[in-house]
């Protein structure tokens, strides 16, 4: 779930609760104020009547057009002891002018006359609109509540999304980062946290780059430095073999030693080659006729691996001419082909397809797919103990593809291992 979604979710519940409480309180206060207003009017009205009545002045007409009505009546002592002195109530009252019952607010006030007798004044005013007003207040409050909630959430979501942009830019930057191919991080922000994040990411990438660079240089240097001692060693063995005093047994052992030495030198050369490719030391590029290169390699390797009895099928569907380094393309084809020969089964077959922009090599072999993740790693061997394989062939293929801006994929289709190179 997205951060924005999370934040909004955790915002909705408390906000809804707070607003609901707020709206409830607001609604009750407002509807109470409505009654208060009526009560205040009744109070003023009743006070006026009582004082005029007590002062012996003429009382206002009981139906003076204001819909307010009143009556005064004497109280018996039992009624006096029972009733409250001041009392309010809602009651349906028959209104003469309307000739029907209407809801009204009624106020009773008990007061004392100079002669000691008690009287009760009842004043009332109709409240036709009260229910309508209250329901209007309720609906308005609810609508405003929902609108407010939506507005706040929307504003929050917008603000949140806007301010989180640097985070998403950093994430994109990290997603797009490939080792050895550093892009500048364009993420201007004045937010301290994001500035820190930017700095940390840059620092982290710096360290990765340095480590990668060191490792690359080490392999190259090591392979380079090994060349001379290995060559000297090989020469010494050759010189030793020219000594006539050696027995036949010693000669055989020396021969084996020389073979191992040759393998070691080849391995070292391959490592050096790989390191050179990764360091982009093959810069010059020409128009390479891939078809022609392929034909030559097929001829050459057919002789080398004649003994294996493997059948090669070439399907030429088009002409592929590529602008790249000639040496690298030759090596690419050669390594792909060698791989197909080496990991084939006896009496197996190799199918080669070529068309403009794509070359596929499919070979029979072990009847199970290879590990796609590790396939192109250095010294990866699916099955240990296979001879004539140094485990660097496919690494070279991969490195050449990357240096020449080509793509390579592996798939296991039917019973064949299929390597596809395309641009």
Partner 1 sequence: MKKMILFLACVFTLVANVSADNYQPITRDQLPQKAQTFLTTYFADAKISLARKEIDVMELSYDVIFTNGCKVEFDRKGNWTEVDCVSTALPIGIVPSAIESTIKAHYPDAKAIKIERDHREYDVKLNNRVELTFNKKMQLVDID
Supply the Cα-derived Rg of the chain in whole angstroms: 49
Distances (CA, A) of 232 to 229, 239, 261: 5, 10, 11
Nearer to partner 1, 112 or 253 (CB): 112
Token pair of 393 as six digits = 């062939």
- Give the interface segment with partner 1, choosing from 36-44, 61-69, 93-101, 177-185 (CB under 8 A): 36-44
Nearer to partner 1, 11 or 264 (CB): 11
Nearer to partner 1, 41 or 67 (CB): 41
Place of tokens 């005013």: 125
Q: Where are the alpha helices (DSSP H) in 71-191?
A: 77-82, 130-163, 165-176
What φ, ψ does residue 18 adopt, rounded to 5°? -60, -45
3-state secondary structure of 65: coil
Nearer to partner 1, 52 or 92 (CB): 52
Decide: is 36 part of the binding site for partner 1 (CB under 8 A): yes
The sign of the dihedral angle between the CA atoms of 61, 64, 66, 69 is positive
Which of 24, 66, 97, 200 touches partner 1 by CB under 8 A? 24
Contact, 396 vs 331, CB < 8 A? yes
Nearer to partner 1, 32 or 263 (CB): 32
- The DSSP bridge partners found for residue 291 are none
- Give the interface segment with partner 1, choosing from 43-51, 125-133, 375-383, 400-408 (CB under 8 A): 43-51
Nearer to partner 1, 109 or 335 (CB): 109
Per-residue interface string for the shown chain with partner 1, residues 105-144, x marking contact by CB under 8 A: ----xxxxxx------------------------------
Task: Compute the half-sphere exposure of residue 252: CA atoms within 13 Å on the CB side of its CA.
Answer: 3
Which of 5, 28, 158, 236 touches partner 1 by CB under 8 A? 28
DSSP string, 197-238: HHHHHHHHHHHHHHHHHHHHHHHHHHHHHHHHHHHHHHHHHH
Sequence-separated (6 or more) residues with CB below 8 Å from residue 246: 240, 254
Which of 13, 14, 57, 248 touches partner 1 by CB under 8 A? 57
Dist. CA 338–CA 225, nearest whole Å = 28
Size of the site for partner 1 (CB under 8 A): 30
Nearer to partner 1, 48 or 234 (CB): 48
Decide: is 32 part of the binding site for partner 1 (CB under 8 A): yes
- Minimum distance between the CB of residue 73 and partner 1, rounded to whole angstroms? 16
Contact, 412 vs 289, CB < 8 A? no
- Give the interface segment with partner 1, choosing from 28-36, 230-238, 307-315, 335-343 (CB under 8 A): 28-36
Nearer to partner 1, 110 or 254 (CB): 110
DSSP single-letter state for residue 407: E
Contact, 205 vs 197, CB < 8 A? no
- Minimum distance between the CB of residue 7 and partner 1, rounded to whole angstroms? 23
Dist. CA 71–CA 107, nearest whole Å = 11
- Minimum distance between the CB of residue 40 and partner 1, rounded to whole angstroms? 7
Nearer to partner 1, 59 or 251 (CB): 59
Decide: is 43 part of the binding site for partner 1 (CB under 8 A): yes
Residues in 61-100 at the binding interface with partner 1, rule: CB under 8 A: 84-86, 88
Polymer length in residues for the chain: 423
- Minimum distance between the CB of residue 188 and partner 1, rounded to whole angstroms? 45
**Given the rule CB under 8 A, which residues bind partner 1?**
17, 21, 24-25, 28-29, 32, 35-36, 39-40, 43, 47, 50-52, 54-57, 84-86, 88, 109-114
């Amino acid at each position: 779930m997205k951060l924005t979604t999370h934040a909004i979710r955790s915002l909705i519940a408390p906000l809804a609760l707070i607003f609901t409480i707020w709206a409830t309180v607001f609604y009750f206060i407002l509807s109470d104020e409505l009654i208060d207003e009526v009560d205040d009017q009744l109070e003023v009205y009743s006070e006026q009547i009582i004082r005029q009545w007590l002062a012996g002045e003429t009382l206002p007409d009981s139906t003076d057009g204001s819909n307010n009505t009143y009556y005064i009546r004497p109280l018996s002592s039992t009624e006096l002891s029972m009733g409250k002195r001041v009392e309010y109530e809602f009651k349906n009252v028959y209104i003469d002018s309307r000739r029907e019952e209407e809801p009204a607010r009624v106020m009773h006030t008990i007061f004392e006359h100079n002669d000691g007798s008690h009287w009760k004044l009842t004043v009332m005013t109709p409240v036709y609109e009260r229910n309508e007003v209250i329901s209007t207040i309720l609906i308005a409050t609810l609508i405003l509540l929902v609108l407010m909630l939506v507005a706040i959430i929307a504003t929050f979501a917008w603000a949140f999304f806007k301010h989180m942009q640097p985070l998403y830019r950093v994430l994109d930057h990290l997603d797009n980062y490939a080792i050895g191919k550093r892009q500048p991080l364009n993420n201007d922000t004045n937010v301290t946290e994001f500035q820190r994040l930017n700095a940390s990411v840059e620092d982290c990438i710096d360290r990765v780059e340095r480590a990668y660079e060191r490792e690359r240089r080490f392999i190259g240097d090591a392979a380079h430095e090994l060349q001379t001692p290995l060559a000297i060693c090989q020469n010494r063995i050759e010189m030793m073999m020219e000594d006539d005093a050696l027995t036949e047994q010693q000669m055989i052992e020396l021969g084996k030693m020389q073979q191992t030495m040759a393998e070691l030198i080849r391995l070292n050369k391959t490592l050096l080659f790989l390191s050179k490719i990764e360091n982009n030391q093959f810069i010059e590029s020409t128009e390479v006729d891939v078809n022609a290169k392929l034909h030559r390699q097929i001829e050459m390797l057919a002789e080398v691996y004649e003994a294996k009895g493997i059948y090669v099928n070439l399907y030429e569907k088009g002409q592929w001419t590529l602008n790249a380094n000639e040496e690298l393309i030759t090596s690419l084809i050669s390594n792909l082909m060698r791989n197909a020969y080496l990991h084939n089964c006896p009496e197996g077959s190799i199918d080669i397809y070529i068309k403009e922009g794509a070359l596929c090599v499919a070979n029979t072999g072990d009847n199970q797919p290879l590990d796609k993740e590790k396939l192109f790693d250095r010294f990866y061997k699916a099955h240990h103990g296979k001879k004539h394989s140094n485990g660097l062939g496919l690494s070279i293929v991969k490195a050449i593809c990357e240096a020449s801006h080509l793509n390579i994929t592996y798939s296991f289709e039917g019973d064949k291992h299929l390597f596809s190179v395309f641009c």
